[in-house]
């Protein structure tokens, strides 16, 4: 019997931490999980789940406008921000409870409070110490706070779900997926949204066609997107927040959201005292087995700043448990593959993507063929909306494999998920071509694009 109180002590109750704790406990390990906040982490409480719920809410505004084209006479709808907030809070509380039930049901000891490393096998929470053979750090990330005059008047994404009152005029600072999503959401909910980004185009790292197409669509929808622009200062005035942009222009808004990126949530963890090596922005450095520079301490998810996606943290958690405790009987140990990870951006319209951008594919493979289609979806032939859809395939000429698939349009995430399975299986363009499409759908376009638009 180990001399430690626990076999595994998990610090952080987000997606990765909860999954690792529950799976390890189900294998018979003595597991505890320390969490200072609500269970579920960023995704459940102030990220993916509430953000998509609000995205659904924003989508109803578009649906009301489009209904007339299909024969529906809809009275002028009104939006109740307080009701949306209350209903969202009820659902998140329900999810928090489910996470708790899953952990307790698996036999995990829950330790409320902030955990700090004491040494390689010891953690302190609320003045009490706990020892464990292995410690897992899964504390996630936290929004970057601006360092400009008046920056204290701005909010970060965590605060956007409970703003009071609803901001009739909103300035979003940033060009990543979080900034773009909130700009679309609040624009749809009725806010006058201005988005400023210091770069030449939003969504750095995505395929260039996707970036330019999305920028065009959100502008059509009403977002005042300003590129190569940034905030110099924010001043609180009786009329609202007076924002001075670099270059001298001023805007008066009700709220400023800074969404300029997230950094690993490592402050106060005691990493230095325990000797855990860190990289850029404090990210915890790990090897292929998620082991830190201290052999008994592991880390996964956003705190390692690898790929900051909830499903990635879940996958890493399952791989780690197999590494520490062995795979389930009759099963091979899980492996994490960071290639072909699908992702979605819940802007209006949505983005779905898996694999390489055109630029990355050309750099890796040299000769590639591009298949691109842009069209008005069938729905919008009657809706009156000018929204268009973009679909794009990137094919490696040497193998005929589809190495990149990108979409901007309704339900892009739902559509791309299925194609991601095919790409993981090594589907070639010939396989795509031989697959019968479902008609009439937007998704069928991915299997009917026959002629390359660029090589």
- Give the 3-state secondary structure of residue 31: strand
Q: Helix, strand, coil: what percent of the chain each, to 5? A: 35, 25, 40
Q: Which two tokens stand for residue 312?
A: 């990635």
* Pairwise CA distance, residues 4 & 140, whole Å: 26
Q: What is the DSSP letter of 445?
A: G
Which single residue is written with the structure tokens 């609320």? 126
| CB half-sphere exposure, 374, CA atoms < 13 A | 11
Q: Given 323, 348, 406, 439, which residue is catalytic?
A: 439
Contact 16, 316 (CB under 8 A): yes
121 among known catalytic residues: no
CA distance 104 to 96: 12
CA dist., res. 123 & res. 9, Å (int):
8
Contact 345, 354 (CB under 8 A): no
Q: What is the DSSP string of 393-435?
A: EEEETTT-BEEEEEEESTTHHHHHHHHHHHHHTT-BHHHHHHS
> What amino acid positions are annotated as catalytic residues?
439
């Amino acid at each position: 019997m180990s001399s430690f109180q626990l076999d595994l002590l998990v610090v952080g109750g987000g997606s990765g931490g909860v999954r690792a704790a529950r799976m390890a406990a189900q294998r018979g390990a003595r597991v505890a999980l320390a969490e200072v906040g609500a269970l579920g982490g960023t995704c459940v409480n102030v990220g993916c789940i509430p953000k998509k719920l609000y995205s659904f809410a924003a989508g109803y505004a578009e649906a009301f406008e489009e209904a007339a084209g299909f024969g529906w006479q809809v009275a002028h709808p009104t939006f109740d921000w307080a009701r949306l907030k209350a209903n969202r809070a009820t659902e998140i509380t329900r999810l928090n409870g489910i996470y708790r039930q899953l952990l307790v049901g698996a036999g995990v000891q829950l330790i409320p409070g902030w955990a700090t490393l004491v040494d390689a096998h010891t953690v302190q929470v609320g003045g009490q110490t706990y020892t464990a053979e292995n410690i897992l750090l899964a504390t996630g990330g936290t929004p970057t706070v601006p360092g400009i005059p008046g920056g204290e008047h701005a909010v970060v994404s965590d605060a956007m779900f409970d703003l009071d009152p609803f901001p009739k005029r909103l300035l979003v600072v940033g060009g990543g997926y979080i900034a773009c999503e909130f700009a679309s959401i609040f624009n749809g909910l009725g806010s006058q949204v201005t988005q400023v980004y210091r770069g030449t185009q939003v969504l750095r790292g995505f395929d260039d066609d996707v970036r330019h197409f999305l920028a065009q669509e959100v502008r059509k929808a009403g977002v005042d997107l300003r590129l190569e622009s940034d905030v110099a200062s924010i001043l609180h005035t009786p009329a609202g927040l007076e924002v001075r942009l670099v270059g001298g222009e001023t805007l008066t808004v009700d709220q400023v959201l800074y969404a300029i990126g997230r950094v690993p949530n490592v402050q106060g963890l005691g990493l230095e005292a325990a000797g855990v090596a860190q990289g850029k922005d404090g990210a915890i450095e790990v090897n292929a087995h998620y082991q830190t520079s201290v052999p008994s301490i592991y880390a996964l998810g956003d705190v390692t700043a690898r790929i900051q996606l909830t499903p990635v943290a879940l996958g890493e958690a399952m791989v780690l448990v197999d590494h520490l405790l062995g795979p389930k009987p009759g099963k091979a140990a899980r492996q994490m593959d960071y290639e072909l990870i699908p992702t979605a951006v819940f802007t209006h319209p949505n983005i779905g993507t898996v694999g390489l951008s055109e630029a990355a594919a050309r750099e890796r493979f040299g000769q590639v063929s591009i298949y691109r289609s842009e069209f008005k979806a069938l729905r919008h032939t009657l809706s009156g909306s000018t929204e268009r859809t973009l679909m794009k395939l990137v094919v490696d000429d040497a193998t005929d494999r589809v190495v990149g698939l990108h979409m901007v349009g309704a339900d892009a995430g739902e559509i791309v998920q299925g194609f991601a399975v095919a790409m993981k299986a090594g589907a070639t363009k010939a396989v795509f071509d031989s697959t019968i499409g479902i008609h009439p759908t937007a998704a069928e376009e991915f299997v009917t694009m026959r002629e390359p638009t660029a090589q």
